[in-house]
Amino acid sequence: MLIDSLKQLTSSTASLNSAGKAAKTQTVEAESAPKNTSRSSTLQQQLETLSRWSISADVSRQLAKNQQAEQQIRQLYQQLEQLKKQLELPQSAGQKQQISQQLQQLESQLKHKDTALTPALTLSSQPTGQSQWQLNSKIDLLSPRKQPELLTIGLADGQKIQLSFPAGQSADANLAMMQQEFAKHKIELKQQGPVLVLSAAAGQSHLLSQPWQMQGEGIRVAAGNPVQVRLQKPEGQLNLLAQQAQQMDSQQAYQAELNQVQQKLQQMLRQVQSERQVLVAKLNALRMADSQQSEQQVSAVSQELKVQMQQGAASSLSAIMAQGNVSRSLVEFALSD
């Protein structure tokens, strides 16, 4: 009997101990739950704040480039306007040379890395995604000839383009025929001043960057063994105008060429101004989202981020920054205010 009583007492004590441990565990979990919820909420606030900073910084950079582009477009437009005024008076050979040099200087400015315009007079922030090359101007495929000719072009991928030039065919007809044949190989061809400019998508750029093997019948291209021909990077539009200035026969016709370039600049200016309206609206929307948070909330989040960076709490902060797609330098800049 005594042994049975001791067993019952031991069993009861173990049950009480187990119940006590379970109750203590539940109490600890209940106390830690609000802390975990609070921490999760704080991390979410940090993520949202960092994300807005990242987006705002990116939009601000785009806006600065947009303003730079507008300024450069306006300056170039005015410089061309001054050249047009010079052409209202008769020009000597020396004055034509001076106009050519001024255009070459303008062209060189467009080759700087930080310029908003390319030598082709397109926005550097909006690459076309195409590779452009031009045929050596010494090879004249446009002018009519008295004899017919079959010209074969061997491309880098082994394909061949055959161009058939009938006797006496006009330059416009020759151009149309070549455009049709090159289009079969997804190559665009157009005339730009006295030269032929060819364009291909990025995936087809090797067809233009690699040498061609050209074989003719001795009229436009030498007969016999194929001749290796390398295409060249196209001249900028202002350089082409500079070359035409030295051979200017009609000042009115040359003024018309300048007008065409100015019209292109006006189109780009309207495009830039339209893009700025979108960027400003986006930036205002971000600022509106920030204003919906109280100053106390923003200050609290910013202060906690600053403390974490100073203390080197890399684990949680790095995760937040990765999710927010921001850099440490951006956070340091934002917290420096």
211 and 256 part of one domain:
no
Is the pLDDT assigned to residue 2 strictly greater than 80?
Answer: no
Does residue 14 fall inside a structural domain? Answer: no
Distance CA 290, CA 45 (A): 12
Supply the range of the domain harboring residue 273.
40-87+252-337
Domains: count for the chain: 2
229 and 278 part of one domain:
no
Answer whether 312's CB lies under 8 Å from 328's CB.
no
230 and 279 part of one domain:
no
264 and 183 part of one domain:
no
Does residue 18 fall inside a structural domain? Answer: no
287 and 228 part of one domain:
no
Give the residue from 149, 234, 150 showing the smallest Cα distance to 188.
Answer: 234
| Residue range 282-305: mean pLDDT, rounded | 65
Residue with tokens 């981020």: 305
The phi and psi torsions of 187 (rounded to 5 degrees) equal -120, 125
Does residue 6 fall inside a structural domain? Answer: no
pLDDT for the residue numbered 7: 44
| Final residue in a domain of this structure, among 235, 263, 283 | 235
Does residue 274 fall inside a structural domain? Answer: yes
| Residue range 64-73: mean pLDDT, rounded | 89
Does residue 118 fall inside a structural domain? Answer: no
Q: Which of 53-57, 212-216, 292-296 has the lowest mean pLDDT?
A: 292-296
pTM, to two decimals: 0.59
Does residue 9 fall inside a structural domain? Answer: no
Give the residue from 184, 186, 195 showing the smallest Cα distance to 134.
Answer: 195
229 and 256 part of one domain:
no
Please list the helix, strand and coil fractions of the chain in percent, rounded to the nearest 5, in that order: 60, 10, 25
| Final residue in a domain of this structure, among 176, 207, 235 | 235
Q: Which of 28-37, 108-117, 164-173, 189-198 has the lowest mean pLDDT?
A: 28-37
The CATH number given to whatever domain includes residue 174 is 2.60.40
Does residue 94 fall inside a structural domain? Answer: no
Does residue 22 fall inside a structural domain? Answer: no
| Residue range 129-151: mean pLDDT, rounded | 89
Q: What is the DSSP letter of 148?
A: -
299 and 327 part of one domain:
yes
Amino acid sitting at position 331: V
| Final residue in a domain of this structure, among 185, 207, 235 | 235
270 and 326 part of one domain:
yes
